[in-house]
């Protein structure tokens, strides 16, 4: 059986958690393939909002098995906190949640290194979530990280101490004033490891291979967004993992020829958390309105998100890099009541207009070229079928489909799973 893939096409926060939740009833396995607790996947149903950081977004569906793949980095402390928050919902984690032996662990000193590195950059900060993600991936590629499977060995604490001592020496390099109590952090970490050991820890690639042979339907879930990809994003203001479709192959052990549908998720506008270039960013009352109505605050950090108009140059780029076959547009309801909707379809540069996503989109050298669309007054949250949507909104969707050359199959008109329209 083939594998479908779902990922974000902007700078993250597109609404992946909601869509995975909506789609899960059609799949047997939901598999997270990269990132770590820097992710914040928000789900809302029955009037309750849930935020997941490490656990896949299909966890609330009793029929689905949820897998944390080898490409994910895991903080046992945050993971345990997630489990505790889900306790009231009587989820059988022993059978519904699997963890890859090859996933890497975030140690307390990884978080300290993250904080020290960011503090040392001063005004050049990249906007890290300070969850230890970057240092953990550095240890992974440096071939001295700790993997989940290591905690099942007798000498895992020796390995832990060796890596921790290395990190403490590295902290001295940054020469920043960082207050911490390592013994307290370690006590919490070791306690969480014991909870961690109670979960199903598996050879995830073998599990997925057997599932494919058995005809199981698998949905691979990405974190962050394509424009934060370590290779194809707005470097250096990116995350430390591969957020594009290629990451599903390396992060789960799935062959490229097994991927069938690639679902790409984007907002009807654009947002970004932290530093980095953002050509269509708004600094006026419209931007403030979008932020307020859209509740644009990071699910992980709580930081206010920067808001701007939709950027089709960047979207086309992300669609091609990922091989997207279907699009899903989120938060069209947030734009209701805005008289003129702007769409960026080209960049202005010193060399003239360009349609492609260049090596560098530094705001000083690039500005957006817009086309205008009439807005809509109707409250989209009140609609439940595609044929009843306002004409101006339908025109907006159809224009995007033509420009992006990809069908928009799902339109979200509110945060609840019920506020999802199929086209």
Active-site residue list: 13, 41
Long-range contacts made by residues 162-168, C-beta under 8 angstroms, separation at least 24?
Answer: 163/107, 163/109, 163/139, 164/107, 164/108, 164/109, 167/107, 167/109, 167/110, 167/112, 167/113, 167/135, 168/109
Rounded Cα gap, residues 346 and 357, in angstroms? 9
Asked if 361 and 353 touch (Cβ cutoff 8 Å), the reply is no
**Among the listed residues 129, 55, 44, 61, the one whose alpha carbon sits nearest the alpha carbon of residue 85:** 55
> Helix H segments across 24-70?
none
Beta partners for residue 327, in sequence order: 264, 408
Is the four-CA dihedral 332, 335, 340, 341 of positive or negative sign? negative
For the record, the structure tokens of 202 come out as 């598996």
Asked if 279 and 342 touch (Cβ cutoff 8 Å), the reply is no
Q: Specify the residue for token string 């780029």.
A: 317
């Amino acid at each position: 059986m083939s594998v479908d893939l779902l990922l974000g096409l902007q700078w993250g926060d597109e609404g992946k958690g909601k869509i995975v939740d909506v789609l899960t009833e059609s799949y047997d396995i939901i598999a997270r393939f990269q990132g770590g607790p820097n992710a914040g996947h928000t789900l809302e149903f029955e009037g309750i909002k849930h935020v997941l950081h490490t656990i896949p977004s299909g966890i609330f569906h009793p029929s689905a098995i949820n897998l944390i793949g080898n490409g994910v980095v895991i903080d046992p402390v945050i993971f345990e906190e997630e489990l505790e928050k889900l306790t009231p919902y009587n989820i059988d984690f022993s059978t519904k949640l699997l963890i890859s032996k090859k996933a890497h662990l975030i140690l307390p000193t990884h978080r300290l290194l993250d904080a020290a590195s960011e503090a040392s950059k001063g005004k050049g900060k990249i906007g890290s979530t300070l969850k230890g993600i970057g240092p953990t991936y550095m240890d992974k590629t440096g071939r001295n990280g700790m993997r989940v499977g290591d905690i099942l060995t007798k000498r895992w604490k020796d390995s832990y101490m060796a890596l921790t001592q290395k990190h403490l020496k590295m902290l001295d390099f940054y020469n920043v004033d960082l207050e911490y109590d390592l013994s307290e952090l370690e006590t919490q970490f070791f306690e969480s490891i014991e909870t961690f050991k109670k979960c199903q820890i598996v050879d995830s690639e073998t599990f997925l291979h057997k599932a494919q042979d058995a005809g199981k339907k698998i949905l691979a879930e990405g974190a962050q967004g394509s424009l934060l990809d370590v290779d194809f994003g707005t470097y250096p203001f990116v995350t430390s993992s591969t957020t594009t479709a290629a990451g599903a192959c390396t992060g789960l052990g799935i062959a490229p020829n097994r991927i069938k549908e690639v679902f790409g998720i984007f907002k009807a506008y654009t947002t970004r958390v932290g530093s980095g270039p953002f050509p269509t960013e708004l600094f006026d009352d419209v931007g403030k309105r979008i932020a307020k109505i859209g509740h644009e605050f990071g699910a992980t950090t709580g930081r206010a998100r920067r808001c701007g108009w939709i950027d089709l140059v960047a979207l086309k780029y992300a669609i091609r890099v990922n091989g997207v076959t279907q699009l899903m547009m989120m938060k069209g309801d947030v734009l209701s009541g805005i008289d003129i909707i702007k769409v960026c379809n080209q960049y202005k540069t010193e060399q003239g207009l360009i349609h492609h996503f260049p090596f560098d989109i530094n705001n000083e050298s690039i500005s957006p070229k817009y086309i205008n669309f009439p807005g809509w007054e109707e409250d989209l949250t009140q609609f439940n079928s595609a044929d009843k949507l306002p004409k101006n909104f339908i025109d907006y969707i159809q224009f995007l489909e033509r420009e992006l050359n990809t069908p928009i199959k799902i339109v979200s008109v509110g945060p609840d799973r019920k506020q999802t329209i199929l086209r």
